[in-house]
Structure 1
Amino acid sequence: MVYDVIIVGGSYAGLSAGLQLARARRSVLVLDSGLRRNRFTDTSHGFLGQDGRAPGDIAAEARAQLMAYPTVQWLADTAVEAVQVDAGFAVRTRTGEQLSARRLILASGVIDELPDIEGLQPRWGQSVFHCPYCHGYELNHGAIGVLATAPLSIHHALMLPDWGPTTFFINGVFEPDAEQLAQLAARGVRLETRRVRRIDGARADVVLSDGEIVAVAGLFAMPRTRMASPLADQLGCVLEEGPMGPFIQTDATQQTSVPGVFACGDAALAAGSVALAVGDGARAGAGTHRSLIFG
Structure 2
Amino acid sequence: MQIDFAVIGGSFAGLSAALQLARARRQVLVVDAGQRRNRFVDAAGLTSQGFLSQDGVAPADIVAQARAQLLRYPSVQWLDGTADDARVSADGRLTFRVGDTAIGAGRLILATGVRDILPPLSGLAERWGRSVFHCPYCHGYELDAGDIGIIAATPQAQHHALMLPDWGRTTLFLNGVYTPSDEERAHLARRGTRVEHVPVVRIDGEADVVLADGRVLHMAGLFTQPRTAMSSPVASQLGCAMTEGPMGPFIQVTPMQETSVPNVFACGDAARATGNVALAVGDGVMAGFGAHRSTML
Q: Which TM-score applies when normalising by structure 1? A: 0.98
Match among 44, 49, 52 for residue 48 of structure 2: 44
The question of 1:243 aligning with 2:256 is answered no
Partner of 2:189: 185
Inter-partner Cα distance in structure 2 for 1:129 and 1:152: 14
Residues 1:87 and 1:243: Cα distance change in structure 2 (over 3 Å): closer
Query: Which 5+ residue runs of structure 2 have no aligned equivalent?
Result: none
Please give the secondary structure, in 1, of the residue aligned with 2:126: helix
The question of 1:92 aligning with 2:97 is answered yes
Partner of 2:172: 168
Tell me if structure 2 keeps the 8 A contact 1:45–1:51: yes
Inter-partner Cα distance in structure 2 for 1:88 and 1:147: 46
The question of 1:153 aligning with 2:157 is answered yes
Inter-partner Cα distance in structure 2 for 1:197 and 1:178: 26
Give, in angstroms, the shift of residue 87 of structure 1. 6.3
Residues 1:87 and 1:248: Cα distance change in structure 2 (over 3 Å): closer
Deviations 1:136-187 (A, max 9, x none): 0011100000111111210001000000000000100001110010011000
Query: Which 5+ residue runs of structure 1 have no aligned equivalent?
Result: none
Match among 241, 256, 270 for residue 253 of structure 1: 256
2:38 alignment partner AA: N
Match among 74, 80, 95 for residue 78 of structure 2: 74
**Across the two proteins, how many residue pairs are aligned to each other?**
292
Give, in angstroms, the shift of residue 7 of structure 1. 0.5
Please give the secondary structure, in 1, of the residue aligned with 2:40: coil
Tell me if structure 2 keeps the 8 A contact 1:87–1:101: no
Inter-partner Cα distance in structure 2 for 1:81 and 1:222: 31
Partner of 2:276: 273
Deviations 1:261-290 (A, max 9, x none): 000000001001000000000000010000
The question of 1:61 aligning with 2:65 is answered yes
Please give the secondary structure, in 2, of the residue aligned with 1:25: coil
Residues 1:53 and 1:286: Cα distance change in structure 2 (over 3 Å): same
Inter-partner Cα distance in structure 1 for 2:200 and 2:100: 45
Matches within 5 A, 1:192-231: 192-201=196-205, 203-231=206-234
Partner of 2:17: 17
Question: After TM superposition, what 4+ stretches of structure 1 lie above 2 angstroms from structure 2?
Answer: 85-88
Give, in angstroms, the shift of residue 88 of structure 1. 2.6
Partner of 2:125: 121
Deviations 1:222-243 (A, max 9, x none): 1000000111111111100111
Partner of 1:3: 3
Inter-partner Cα distance in structure 2 for 1:4 and 1:87: 14
Inter-partner Cα distance in structure 1 for 2:218 and 2:88: 53
1:33 alignment partner AA: A
Inter-partner Cα distance in structure 1 for 2:200 and 2:212: 6
Q: Which TM-score applies when normalising by structure 2? A: 0.97
Tell me if structure 2 keeps the 8 A contact 1:107–1:263: yes
Please give the secondary structure, in 1, of the residue aligned with 2:63: helix
